[in-house]
Structure 1
């Protein structure tokens, strides 16, 4: 936004100085003032069509023609040097906005118009040579600028693609490690259940059978051994059950579910974890509500935005509350109305001592939510 206002200030300053150079009466400058007004009308509406290259190209070419007619001197007038600066700014913006071929064509048209004006005025050969050399150097400089800019954009796109692929591989490796770890836990649990558990069960049966055969004074000792074996079997069952549990609580569990959603929905998600979010002690219910809230926000991304990407940040400042925020770029100015999903998520967060807020700006749609750690439910 700052660059836009700076560019507008440069154009206004040069055009005002250029009009002042003519030193004509207001009535005699009607055509020039009309051309100036039309030029800046196109200047202001041009940002509205940046996504449509053909319209942008047409506007630039029209601006060039308007500038040539506006600054074209009368037969008895002097050559306006600010005309060179006006065309220079127009060429610079053209190389910034347009593709290389179109920007070069714009530069050639502006150069041809300026050359025709200088020859029409009959300027000194040295001045004509200076203007031609200046425009030639300007076009070469703009060409190098365009090539370097396109090369940098290509490198940036490749970097983003490699970074995205690296993140996908990293997440896939993490998921595979978790799956391998879980398979090992299940294997150990089955081994314990099949070997130790069965042997303890057999031992209890044998002790019960032995108790029926021993004398009365030994039955108390056998009963104690049977109870000890039963307690060992129960502890073994609890250990097997804990090994079979496949639930990851806290933020790691939420991230795992979001990564799965990312792969299923073909979204590109950038994560940011701050201020103790990983160490926050979240209950299973809290983790589930956070995931469902983020999922609902991402669903709105897929419904209302053409950009298939989002930024998600988590933080737990002070350890008392857990916050999350989902941002995604928007390209339309339509008014956003909350649906049933976001309203339901707000109600769930409020039951856990939190809340949910949504707001939309000209460039970003944001969903923010928080809940109190340890509020509601059992720790």
Structure 2
């Protein structure tokens, strides 16, 4: 009974089942009392239908059938009892097959649901990044075209007002100043409508954390949140961090990930993703790591993959892009 109740803690339940049957069979041969073995075998067979995987179940149920056959030959159980036990074994096989199909359907459903959520999340994220890029483009166009022309117009009006002291020129100057201020205000509004830069990446990562089983611990050095990065760099940084977190979900049992963002003296953004690993297999760069490395190389960045006794570490760097201050 003790072995049965600690079975959920055992790594190999098949071996535990076989050990229990061996103990019961030994007890039967010593006491020569087989009255209780058939109910026990029936119960343990039905129980194995719920607990064991396919290979282990087939192996175990074959052992039970063989044991019943031997006990029948030794006349320790009757032929009627043997046929009854065969019927129970057949029912257990059909029950296990049904449970396996249900489990398979549930697994496929979870996979499809996970893929649907991923596609939906990627679509929303891509849409947000495209909108941010469009707003940035419009703001730059307004700065480079309308703003510069208004500034040039204001300078020419100043020169004309110096040469010709006219009230009409003063009104035109005032109108040009108001138009320039309105243009500056519109550019500022376009830039502040949505979260951009590192903050947008963190926001997207937090959404991923809520939909997964990961516990992400962010360490952000001073000044990182205010650094200017392009939309292309934001997309690459997010995709690389997303791939690192996906790998952590697949290969780490702790489900705890450390993400560190910092800026070095060379004005490069450094990121590090660290999670515990349980595999001692040789480190091989698969499609995910190769894809991350290619993305970083597109923005003149680098990727390093390390592994120590406890942690799997991904480190990357890329140079920051310097932007102007906008309309002044």
Calculate the TM-score normalised by the size of structure 1: 0.50
Tell me, yes or no, if the aligned pair for 2:132 and 2:194 is still in contact at 8 Å. no
Q: Does 1:269 align with 2:212?
A: yes
RMSD across aligned positions (CA): 3.8
Q: What pairs up with 1:31-50 in 2 under 5 angstroms?
A: 40-50=1-11
Q: Does 1:256 align with 2:199?
A: no
Tell me, yes or no, if the aligned pair for 2:136 and 2:191 is still in contact at 8 Å. yes
Q: Which residue of 2 aligns with 1:191?
A: 141
Aligned equivalent of 1:68, options 10, 14, 25: 25
Q: Which residue of 1 aligns with 2:253?
A: 307
Q: Does 1:227 align with 2:185?
A: no
Q: C-alpha displacement at 1:247, in angstroms?
A: 4.4
Residues 252 and 92 of structure 1: CA distance in aligned 2, closer, same or farther (over 3 Å): farther
Separation in 2, partners of 1:269, 1:122 = 56
Provide, for residues 53-110 of structure 1, a one-character-per-residue CA deviation record: whole Å limited to 9, x for no partner: 3xx22221111121123244856x6x51x32111111112223323334323323333
Q: What pairs up with 1:64-143 in 2 under 5 angstroms?
A: 64-72=21-29, 80=35, 82-121=36-75, 128-143=78-93
Tell me, yes or no, if the aligned pair for 1:268 and 1:308 is still in contact at 8 Å. no
Q: C-alpha displacement at 1:194, in angstroms?
A: 2.9
Q: C-alpha displacement at 1:246, in angstroms?
A: 7.0
Provide, for residues 263-291 of structure 1, a one-character-per-residue CA deviation record: whole Å limited to 9, x for no partner: xxxx97169xxxxxxxxxxxx99xxxxxx
Q: Does 1:213 align with 2:183?
A: no
Aligned equivalent of 1:161, options 105, 108, 111: 111
Separation in 2, partners of 1:158, 1:230 = 64
Say which SS state the counterpart of residue 212 (structure 1) adopts: helix
Q: How many residues align?
A: 226
Say which SS state the counterpart of residue 228 (structure 1) adopts: helix
Separation in 1, partners of 2:211, 2:127 = 22
Provide, for residues 227-280 of structure 1, a one-character-per-residue CA deviation record: whole Å limited to 9, x for no partner: 33112202211211221347439x9986423257x6xxxx97169xxxxxxxxx
Residues 308 and 72 of structure 1: CA distance in aligned 2, closer, same or farther (over 3 Å): same
Larger CA deviation: 238-247 vs 63-72? 238-247
* Structure with larger Rg: 1
Tell me, yes or no, if the aligned pair for 2:49 and 2:92 is still in contact at 8 Å. yes
Higher relative contact order (CA 8 A, sep 6+): 2
Say which SS state the counterpart of residue 248 (structure 1) adopts: coil
Residues 235 and 47 of structure 1: CA distance in aligned 2, closer, same or farther (over 3 Å): same
Tell me, yes or no, if the aligned pair for 1:72 and 1:117 is still in contact at 8 Å. no
Separation in 1, partners of 2:254, 2:116 = 18
Q: Which residue of 2 aligns with 1:244?
A: 191
Q: C-alpha displacement at 1:157, in angstroms?
A: 2.0
Residues 193 and 307 of structure 1: CA distance in aligned 2, closer, same or farther (over 3 Å): same
Tell me, yes or no, if the aligned pair for 1:95 and 1:104 is still in contact at 8 Å. no
Tell me, yes or no, if the aligned pair for 1:207 and 1:226 is still in contact at 8 Å. yes
Which residues of structure 1 form unaligned runs of 5+?
Answer: 1-39, 272-283, 286-294, 311-379
